[in-house]
Amino acid sequence: MLSARNLEVVYDDVVLALRGVSLEVPEGKIVALLGSNGAGKTTLLRALTGLLGIHEGAVTKGGVDLDGKPLHRTSPEKIVKNGVRQVLEGRRVFVELSIEENLKVGAHTARPQMADNLERVYGLFPVLAERRGKVAGYLSGGEQQMLAIGRAMMSDPRYLLLDEPTLGLAPLMVEAIRDVILEINRTGTSVLLVEQNATMALSVADHGYVMETGRVVMDKPAAALLRDDDVREFYLGLH
């Protein structure tokens, strides 16, 4: 289990980005994290993966645990080695490198595992396999998102944290990313999914959290969130 315990994060001594946030990603599950812009979702992901450097912000209270042991103050590299991996918002691929080179950059593993992981990632994303030698800059936005997820999967993480993977993608591509998330989870990786597309996120998730201005305001099974009147009105656009 990956968990945040009563996390408080302050940027530049003024912006209280997280105000005592607790969240759990149980082994084997998909957890959705919803919330409007500025609610603190990205800050929470960055706290979970150790990316909140001292220059940018500080965890002033609480901590992050993996299997009950504190991860707080562990370096981002070590957190990846411990099996927690994040795909940042936006498609940060190396546009001048080939697809395969991009994937190898993500490996963090010894050569024999790298070959196995490459095959597994190509199995997840046949579209990347077909074009493995091509330069990543020629991929569409959705394909670049797949490459970004594929690169994270190269370290065979136990926990995958995704920050708005379907942002700006066409419906068919959203479907493809949704299928990939389900397949990644089916093969043993737990997922924390930050999404603006609440319909998609709650359709794959076991559990969901809703954040508002640095706080968790809802913490329920995904099916219950889908039935909740406020969630239906504000996040699903239903009445």
Interaction site with ligand ATP (CB under 6 A): 11-12, 15, 17, 35, 37-43, 56
Shortest distance (Å) from residue 105 CB to ligand ATP = 25
Shortest distance (Å) from residue 38 CB to ligand ATP = 4
Q: Is the CB of 9 or the CB of 177 nearer to ligand ATP?
A: 9
Q: Is the CB of 96 or the CB of 230 nearer to ligand ATP?
A: 230
Tell the burial category of 220 from Cβ atoms under 10 Å away from its Cβ (0-12, 13-18, 19+): middle
Shortest distance (Å) from residue 138 CB to ligand ATP = 28
Cα–Cα distance for residue pair 155/103, rounded to 1 Å: 10
Q: Is the CB of 121 or the CB of 169 nearer to ligand ATP?
A: 169
Q: Is the CB of 43 or the CB of 185 nearer to ligand ATP?
A: 43
- Sorted by sequence, the CB contacts under 8 Å of residue 199 that are 6+ apart come out as 236
Shortest distance (Å) from residue 83 CB to ligand ATP = 23
Shortest distance (Å) from residue 10 CB to ligand ATP = 9
Shortest distance (Å) from residue 28 CB to ligand ATP = 25
Q: Is the CB of 23 or the CB of 136 nearer to ligand ATP?
A: 23
Rounded to 5°, angle at Cα 112 from 109 and 113: 45
Q: Is the CB of 28 or the CB of 76 nearer to ligand ATP?
A: 76
Q: What values do phi and psi take at 205, rounded to 5?
A: -80, 155
